[in-house]
């Protein structure tokens, strides 16, 4: 079997943070001041988002998980410091526990105006915060193969990231309500299986030709072959509360990609399941997080989600040492023991007698935990 060059599977991580008013704990427009100040220090690694209460950051292309950890830590520290200097604070959760989207300003930018004009209230109400992980690929053909096969694992890793149990002051009953908000957009959710990269490219060309989209970035699936980079981009997860969780999730996505690649080199592949079946597991992950059951489609039965996450760790066990990510991936066990961001938010909520301000304070205080 050919040797695997583990250095090819580079990482890029994007996180979206909420900007918080320290007195009211509401979301607060920073009038792009955090971005303006941030760009003096970290250049184009900080960007505005559609809503002015959101700041997006992105790492450099990282050679391994330890480099990614350093980069994400620096970004979090830098944004927290700049926000503090401006009399604001920041936090990371998939939704704000009680702020309403109606009061939030939209960033003035041609692209955002165009999206709002087309999608209307679905866009204006899309006040959510996600994590995107890019894993480098040797070719777009391989990216398509790996995207097809890693679809199956999206709900498992998503369950670990669940971090949005509240929406507009209500306990939603979901561990990740963020995806319910985003589902209002077109071209979201689990992607289809594409037989080849040409089939995918033809699909995109058809959408462009028929004025459904003007470019492939308006395909907002939970996982996509990136339109401009040789990466597979994982987009399903809530932004995690802490850097440890973000790095764990990024390391798991990377490890799954490498494992699928390794199987391919040995002329093997993971079984392909339909989008409809994988969607059943995604729904369960959004509703119950790590505390429910996912369907094992091979056995055709429900299996405890925690058991499946341990199975996933076993599945990637033979590649994590080569990637230098054993410690990062095995942080999943800590999440299983202490709960996801959603579980911890709900614990604070219950302990404070159903108050949401302490939940926001907890989100803010966890932002730099472990850095």
DSSP for residue 297: T
Residue 322's pLDDT is 98
- Identify whether the C-beta of residue 92 lies closer than 8 Å to the C-beta of residue 55: no
Domain 6-366 architecture: 2-Layer Sandwich (3.30)
Specify the 3-state DSSP secondary structure of 345.
helix
Other C-beta atoms closer than 10 Å to the C-beta of 10 total: 20
Cα-to-chain-centroid distance, residue 371: 20
Residue 112's pLDDT is 73
C-alpha to C-alpha distances, 234 to 112, 169, 231, nearest whole angstrom: 22, 29, 10
Rounded CA-CA distance 360/15 in Å is: 18
Evaluated on CA atoms 347, 349, 351, 354, the torsion sign reads: negative
DSSP letter for each residue of 107-161: P--HHHHHHHHHHTHHHHT----BEEEEEE-S-HHHHHHHHHHHGGGHHHHHHHH
Encoded tokens for 106: 């939209």
DSSP for residue 266: T
Q: How many residues does the chain have?
A: 371
Residue 349's pLDDT is 98
Residue 50's pLDDT is 83
User: Would you say the pTM of this structure is higher than 0.75?
Assistant: yes
pLDDT digits (tens), the chain, 371 positions: 678 999 999 999 999 999 999 999 999 998 899 999 999 999 999 998 888 999 999 999 999 999 999 999 999 999 999 999 999 999 999 999 999 987 887 878 877 788 788 889 878 878 999 999 999 999 999 999 999 999 999 999 999 999 999 999 999 999 999 999 999 989 999 999 999 999 999 999 999 999 999 999 999 999 999 988 899 999 999 999 999 999 999 999 999 999 999 999 999 998 899 999 999 999 999 999 999 999 999 899 999 999 999 999 999 999 999 999 999 999 999 999 999 999 999 999 999 999 999 999 999 999 999 99
Closest to 245 measured CA to CA, from 72, 37, 95, 38: 72
DSSP letter for each residue of 155-181: HHHHHHH--B-EETTEE-S-SB-HHHH
């Amino acid at each position: 079997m050919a040797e695997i060059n583990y250095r090819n599977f580079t990482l890029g991580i994007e996180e979206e943070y909420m900007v918080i008013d320290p007195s009211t704990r509401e979301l607060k427009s920073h009038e792009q001041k955090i971005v303006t100040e941030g760009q003096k220090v970290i250049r184009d690694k900080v960007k505005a988002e559609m809503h002015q209460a959101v700041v997006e950051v992105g790492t450099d292309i990282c050679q391994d998980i330890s480099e990614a950890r350093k980069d994400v830590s620096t970004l979090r520290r830098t944004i927290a410091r700049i926000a503090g200097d401006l009399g604001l604070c920041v936090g990371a959760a998939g939704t704000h526990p009680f702020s309403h989207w109606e009061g939030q300003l939209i960033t003035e930018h041609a692209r955002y105006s165009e999206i709002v004009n087309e999608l209307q209230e679905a866009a204006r109400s899309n006040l959510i915060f996600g994590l995107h992980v890019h894993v480098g690929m040797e070719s777009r053909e391989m990216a398509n193969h790996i995207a097809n096969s890693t679809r199956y694992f999206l709900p498992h890793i998503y369950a670990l990231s669940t971090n949005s149990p509240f929406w507009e002051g209500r306990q939603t009953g979901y561990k990740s309500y963020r995806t319910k908000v985003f589902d209002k957009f077109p071209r979201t959710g689990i992607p289809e299986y594409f037989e080849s990269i040409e089939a995918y490219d033809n699909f995109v060309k058809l959408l462009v030709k028929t004025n459904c989209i003007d470019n492939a970035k308006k395909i907002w699936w939970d996982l996509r072959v990136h339109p401009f980079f040789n990466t597979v981009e994982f987009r399903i997860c809530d932004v995690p509360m802490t850097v440890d969780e973000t790095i764990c999730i990024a390391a798991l996505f990377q490890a799954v990609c490498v494992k699928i690649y390794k199987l391919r080199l040995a002329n093997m592949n993971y079984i392909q399941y339909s989008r409809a079946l994988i969607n059943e597991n995604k729904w369960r992950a959004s509703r119950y997080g790590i505390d429910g059951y996912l369907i094992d489609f091979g056995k055709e039965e429900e299996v405890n989600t925690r058991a499946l996450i341990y199975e996933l760790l076993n599945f990637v066990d033979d590649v994590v040492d080569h990637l230098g990510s054993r410690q990062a991936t095995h942080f999943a066990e800590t999440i299983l023991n202490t709960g996801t961001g959603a579980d911890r938010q709900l614990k604070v909520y219950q302990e404070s007698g159903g108050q949401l301000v302490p939940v926001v304070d907890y989100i803010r205080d966890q932002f730099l935990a472990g850095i």
